[in-house]
Amino acid sequence: MAPFQGFGDKAIAFLKALDFHQNREWFLENRDIFEKHLKEPLGDLVEELTERFAKAGLPFKGDRVKSLFRIKRDTRFSRDKAPYNRHLSALLSVSGSKWDESGCFYVCIGLPGVRDCYAGVAWWSPRPALLAAMRQSIVDEPERFRAMVAALKKNGLTFSDHDRLKRNPRGFETVNGPDLVAAIRNRHFVVRMEIDPAEITDPALADRLFDFAMRARPLID
């Protein structure tokens, strides 16, 4: 495992140029910049975090091959036909698969204002049966849920309200209390850390991401 030395100083500039050009010929001409400044460092970061998470008893793992998402987009069902993403991202999970439903640690290096640079600990779009069970657990054990929220808040983290339902889901119509209503309307359970693009070249980014995962531990547990 190569220690994470930070992303290359051309990482964001490459993504900006890729956003402008968006063609295969330009990408192939500049692929060495992509590999050196983005893909290889992200692989190093995934493997370093996997090792550090294991030592700390955090359940997420990955590797430099399976954990990274492709820079090339699948445009078959998208209105946006641009062939390349404006970001590069990776996901660590309990099984090491990108499709694990047991929660994940996600990191994204992207263009400010487009996809941004950030990390998240999440249960993202759980399948319906799992989401219903999570909602029922909140209703059945409200004080346990509130204790988790309080612990996250103490650690400087709050749940994202992204894509939250406008109304209570079916079967939960009678739930009341503002905090419980907000919780059961969630489609996802996510805490997030913003990453300053100016700091992605710093090897200490790995330390900040590890600290974020530890602060998210009430949700993980």
Which residue range(s) make up the domain with 91? 1-117
pLDDT value of residue 115: 82
Q: For residue 81, is it within any domain?
A: yes
150: pLDDT strictly greater than 70:
yes
In a domain, 79, yes or no: yes
Q: Is residue 88 part of a domain?
A: yes
Residue 180 lies in a domain: no
**91 within domain boundaries:** yes
Q: What is the pLDDT of residues 41-89, one digit of tens each?
A: 999 999 999 999 999 999 999 999 999 999 999 888 888 899 999 999 9
Among 48-57, 112-121, 150-159, 180-189, where is mean pLDDT lowest?
A: 112-121
212 domain residue, yes or no: no
Q: How many percent of the chain have pLDDT more than 70?
A: 99
Q: With respect to residue 221, please indicate whether it lies within any of the assigned structural domains.
A: no
CA–CA gap between residue 91 and residue 102 (Å, rounded): 12
Asked, for residue 34, whether it belongs to a domain, the answer is yes
- How many domains does the chain contain in total? 1
pTM of the predicted model, to two decimals? 0.94
